[in-house]
Amino acid sequence: MNFTVPEETLEIINGLKQFIDKRVIPLEEENAELLYNERNYYLENGRRHPKVERLRKEVRMASAEAGFYTMFGDKELGGEELGPITALLTQEAIAKSYPNRKLIDPVVIPSPFTNGITPVLRGLKQELKDYYLDGIRKGEKTLCFGLTEPDAGSDVWGIKTKAVKVNNEWVINGTKQWITNAPYADYCMLFAVTNPELHEKRKGGITCFFVETNSEGFNVDSVIPVMGELGGDAGIISIDQLRVPEENIIGELDQGFTKAMHGINNGRLGMSGKCIGSAQWALKQAIDYANMRKTFGKTIGEHQTIQNMLAESAMDIYAARNMALHCAWKIENTKKQPVKEISMVKAYCTEMLGRVYDKVIQIHGGVGVSNELKLEAGYRYARILRIPDGTSEIHRRTIARSLLRGDLNFN
């Protein structure tokens, strides 16, 4: 395996950084009072302020125009299909250089499978592609991925949302929760049971529908505020007699679950890249502080316990980075999805980020828990990431099942 960063990837990262410095950072600075004061950022009901939404749209559309927004999307959907190594390294570089920013992640590059030209959309009928894809590619329109329900998270077979066929339409009823971007999205990839028998046997029976969120019967009732925030990104959706035409089925009838998994691994790897970048930024803050802050007549970096925390963080980052790169390399070179390895990478990288932030905050003492250094924002982000895209426990289950089936391959 060659660990040299490809020249083309470096050029992309440099171009993206120039774009962010020129187009996004000035916008952030001009609107700092809106973006970095939670009381302004969110409305009373927990939704982002419409002005924030306008800024996000402006950044998305500028990123699309500059060619960054769709660069990891499939070619058949109008993307550049830059491979997993470039995706991983780009996410790492952005998280490392622009940590915990409001208008950068996941605005400049959308979350790889829940928004933008997600691979799930490969299953759209051509007519719908012709009609909808352009707005999604341009960053004008956004999506959400509606699978989880109050009684179905890790165990997605537990979904109860039902679609019943009436003439040439499907009538859908149910509830979805924890749907990222639902309060703001134009379209939803909505999962519902279409064949109760198959579903009961866990052999299919779930279908994915493409839905316009302003349709009658589709309502985002509330936003779920997350750890320490006054609002959030994820919403609870109620679906009441929603009518969806037959042609809006994404992929095959009753095969939506396969569709749901399509592309989810891109998301997991991208998320891991962000963790690796963010952890490096945090460690750098700790090193700078350890070299500057003095106690008992010397810098705290001279105390061995502090050195241990720095060293352990570096070991953790190194392990995570090489593990993720190896996995990306494997995907790029075999064109297969190594399920066990992706689970190891997602669980390890998200947990590593939590461990690193925890130590970095400790090294900073009191100032570490203040809101000023954005360390607490990174810590909260790290804590959240152990849940979506498969919890740490579910990934361990996947890994263990592969092992028990005899997959002892570590190459």
Is residue 207 within the footprint of ligand FAD (CB under 6 A)?
no
Q: Which of 176, 129, 173, 180 shows the shortest CA–CA distance to 151?
A: 176
DSSP-derived letter for residue 213 is T
Residue pair 401/408 in contact (Cβ under 8 Å)? The answer is: no
Which residues are within 8 A (CB) of 280 and not within 5 positions of it... i.e. 6 or more apart?
92, 96, 317
Residue of 190, 234, 279, 377 that binds ligand FAD (CB under 6 A)? 234
Is residue 114 within the footprint of ligand FAD (CB under 6 A)?
yes
Shortest gap between Cβ of 1 and ligand FAD (angstroms)?
32
Shortest gap between Cβ of 223 and ligand FAD (angstroms)?
12
Is residue 394 within the footprint of ligand FAD (CB under 6 A)?
yes
Pick 234 or 399: Cβ nearer ligand FAD: 234
Is residue 147 within the footprint of ligand FAD (CB under 6 A)?
yes
**Count of residues engaged in binding ligand FAD, rule: CB under 6 A:** 20
- Point out which span in 198-206, 335-343, 349-357, 393-401 binds ligand FAD (CB under 6 A): 393-401
Say how many residues make up the chain.
411
Is residue 238 within the footprint of ligand FAD (CB under 6 A)?
no
Is residue 178 within the footprint of ligand FAD (CB under 6 A)?
yes
Question: Of all helices (H) and strands (E), which one includes residue 135?
Answer: helix 126-137
- Point out which span in 10-18, 19-27, 197-205, 385-393 binds ligand FAD (CB under 6 A): 385-393
Please confirm whether the linkage preceding 106 is cis (ω < 30° from 0).
yes
Shortest gap between Cβ of 181 and ligand FAD (angstroms)?
7
Residue pair 210/189 in contact (Cβ under 8 Å)? The answer is: yes
Task: Say how far apart CA 303 and CA 45 lie, in whole Å.
Answer: 47
User: Which position has the token pair 């982002």?
Assistant: 48
Query: Which residue's CB atom is positioned nearest to ligand FAD?
Result: 153
Pick 79 or 153: Cβ nearer ligand FAD: 153
Question: Of all helices (H) and strands (E), which one includes residue 52?
Answer: helix 50-65
Residue type (1 letter), 220: V
Q: Is 169 helix (H, G, I), strand (E, B) or coil?
A: strand
Residue of 350, 388, 399, 402 that binds ligand FAD (CB under 6 A)? 388
Pick 134 or 155: Cβ nearer ligand FAD: 155
Residue 257: how many CA atoms within 13 Å on its side-chain side?
Answer: 16
Residue ranges in contact with ligand FAD by CB under 6 A: 114, 145-148, 153-155, 178-180, 226, 234, 384, 387-388, 391, 393-394, 397
